Chains A and B, each alone.
Chain A
């Protein structure tokens, strides 16, 4: 498995894990409050730090097992894979932002707008890494 595919697996797993936990906390808080919980800076900081730590440790581990591959730039096929995955990711975030804006126009709920845009960003990034994995395995 090429280094960049391993990297995509790490990022997909890290994003799914940390984002799942983040939104689970938001749902739990919202249930306690009886309304949608506001976005909390400390929670976002914890989420971001956890994601960075998992990504750095994960990449260090795979780089230790294949140091030569870790330093190698993307080759021509890998560049195309990343471009195509980025294309799909761009479509997803575009659709997510449009959906979020429409949601705001119907609800005028700023908290919901924040979560919708944040979720769009996360989903588009997951789609990018997932597309990379699929393309690495099928093309």
Chain B
């Protein structure tokens, strides 16, 4: 039975995620809380937590919003390793 018909941006628990990110480090460097970043980007705090913990891959739009908050490019915030 297929897991789901929707895109698998919700990562499977225990499965290594190909997209890594520097959000937690950048957020701390900028003195931002998860809630403040979530408000600035337009998602919930839980979604920021999920992205930081590599449990969820954000949409391209959210990735750009996050990068913009840190005045970085998407490439500097997110890293993709082909598996």
Q: Chain A residues in contact with chain B, CB under 8 A?
A: 2, 69, 72, 75-78, 80-81, 83-84, 87-88, 91, 135-136, 138-139
In the assembled complex, the CB of B61 is this many whole angstroms from the nearest CB of chain A, namely 8
Task: Judge whether B31 is part of the interface by a CB distance below 8 angstroms.
Answer: no
**What separation, in Å, do the CA atoms of A72 and B35 have in the docked complex?**
14
In the assembled complex, the CB of A79 is this many whole angstroms from the nearest CB of chain B, namely 9
* Binding site secondary structure of chain B: loop
Q: Chain B residues in contact with chain A, CB under 8 A?
A: 1, 4-7, 9-11, 13, 42-47, 50, 55-56, 58-59, 62
A136's partner among B7, B42, B46, B62 (CB-CB below 8 A) is B46
With A75-B43, A77-B44 as known contacts, state yes or no: A139 contacts B6, CB within 8 Å: no
The answer to whether B47 touches A76, judged by C-beta atoms less than 8 angstroms apart, is: yes
With A139-B11, A139-B55 as known contacts, state yes or no: A75 contacts B44, CB within 8 Å: yes
* Binding site secondary structure of chain A: helix
Q: Which residues of A contact B46 (CB under 8 A)?
A: 2, 77, 136
The answer to whether B56 touches A77, judged by C-beta atoms less than 8 angstroms apart, is: yes
Q: Which residues of B contact A76 (CB under 8 A)?
A: 9, 43, 47, 58-59, 62
Sample of 9 A–B contacts (CB below 8 Å): A69-B44, A75-B43, A77-B50, A77-B58, A78-B44, A84-B4, A84-B10, A87-B5, A91-B1
In the assembled complex, the CB of A37 is this many whole angstroms from the nearest CB of chain B, namely 36
Q: Which residues of A contact B55 (CB under 8 A)?
A: 138-139
Residue of B with least CB distance to A1: B46
In the assembled complex, the CB of A71 is this many whole angstroms from the nearest CB of chain B, namely 13
Q: Which residues of B contact A135 (CB under 8 A)?
A: 10
In the assembled complex, the CB of A78 is this many whole angstroms from the nearest CB of chain B, namely 7
**What separation, in Å, do the CA atoms of A80 and B62 have in the docked complex?**
14
With A139-B11, A139-B50, A139-B55 as known contacts, state yes or no: A75 contacts B6, CB within 8 Å: no
Q: Which residues of B contact A83 (CB under 8 A)?
A: 4, 6
Residue of A with least CB distance to B55: A139
In the assembled complex, the CB of B67 is this many whole angstroms from the nearest CB of chain A, namely 16
Residue of A with least CB distance to B7: A80
With A80-B9, A81-B10, A139-B11 as known contacts, state yes or no: A75 contacts B4, CB within 8 Å: no
